[in-house]
Structures are given as C-alpha cells and as structure tokens.
Amino acid sequence: MSNFRRSKIGQVYFFTVVTNRRAPILTTDLGRRCLNEAIKEVRDDLPFENVAFILLPDHLHAVWKLPSGETDYSTRWRRIKATFTKKWLKAGGNEQWKSASRKSKGERGVWQKRFFEHTCKDESDLKRCVDYIHVNPLKHQLVSRVRDRDWEWEWSSFHRYVEAGEYDMNWGNANDWYGDEFRHFE
C-alpha cells in the first residue's frame, strides 16, 4: 500500500497531468474536444476556477482555485480523466500499451495514473506557477515567443492575462527567458 499523500490545505493548486506513455493526443481536434467537454461536465458538478491553463500534446498544466472550504481536487481530476477517456475511446481514439497490472485492474491506457500537485503558498508562488504555465510552450520549443499562435494557442490562458494587463504581449521570448527557476516542476 502506498504512503502517497495529497495536500489538503490551501485553495489554489498547480497541476501537471500527463497522458499514458506521453502519447501526443491532447492537442488533436478530438483530444481538445473531449477534454473541453470533460472539464465542463465535471465543473458543473464540482466547481473550480481555472486560474491558468496550458495544453500541450502530451500533458497539461493548470492552476485551479477551489471554492471556499473545498480541497478535493483528486475527485475532480479522476472524473475529468474518466470522462475524457470514455469520450475519447467512443469517438475512435486509441489507448497506449497497458502493463499486466493495468490490464488486471481494468485500467485504460489513456492517462498516467497520477498527477503532480503543488499547493500555491502565496501570491508570489502563484505568479511563479502561472508564469511557468505560460512559458511552457517555449520551454518545450513549440514556439519561439509565448505570444506566438503557431498552434492557434487558444489552449493557453496567456492571452487572457495579456488582455487583463498582467503581461506585456512581448513577455516570454526565447532570448530573455531563463528556465532554471521553473525546473523543479517537471
């Protein structure tokens, strides 16, 4: 039995959620549609505010703020992943190779079993997490500037932050980004 424990303090959390065997399915038309529908369905039952978000081919990062007194983000992620998986497979999406252990437990091969979670301790920590999310396409060399819409980056909350005046449109260029401060998240 695992001694794995999740944080049950705070209300703002950073997450990394990864597909099984890092399959690049999330930015496909089907992947985006299934994920969007799954998040909407779960959020209708179990509310949360999506503070920041980035979708990459094989993983996503998010910062959520839960309602006052709520700490159960695990149920939300479990339901999002399960809803996505049902929609994905029903629409013809593939699952990755499954270990004998996964097969014996009836687990699907779409998502990694767990996810990474970090409780944002204060405003400075929250800003660091949001910055990490928005610089992630640059970190993975998918764009040369965070503002690039090479992939029609509606899968990032970056432009919402620009519109709110949190970032200058030129924030996050490859020439002036120093990635070591974010390294511990991956």
CATH number at residue 170: 3.30.70.1290
**Mean pLDDT of all residues in 17-31:** 96
Q: Is residue 3 part of a domain?
A: no
Give the percent of the chain with pLDDT over 90: 65
Q: Is residue 155 part of a domain?
A: yes
Q: Is residue 83 part of a domain?
A: yes
> Is residue 4 predicted with pLDDT exceeding 50?
no
pTM over 0.85: yes
**Cα 162 from Cα 20, distance rounded (Å):** 33
Q: Is residue 25 part of a domain?
A: yes
Structural domain total, the chain:
1
Name, in order, each residue with C-beta under 8 angstroms of 61's C-beta and a sequence gap of 6 or more: 14, 15, 16, 17, 52, 53, 54, 132, 133, 136, 185
Q: Is residue 74 part of a domain?
A: yes
Domain limits at 152? 12-179
**Cα 182 from Cα 162, distance rounded (Å):** 21
Beta strands in the chain (DSSP E): 12-18, 49-55, 59-65, 116-119
Q: Is residue 186 part of a domain?
A: no
Q: Is residue 158 part of a domain?
A: yes
Q: Is residue 7 part of a domain?
A: no
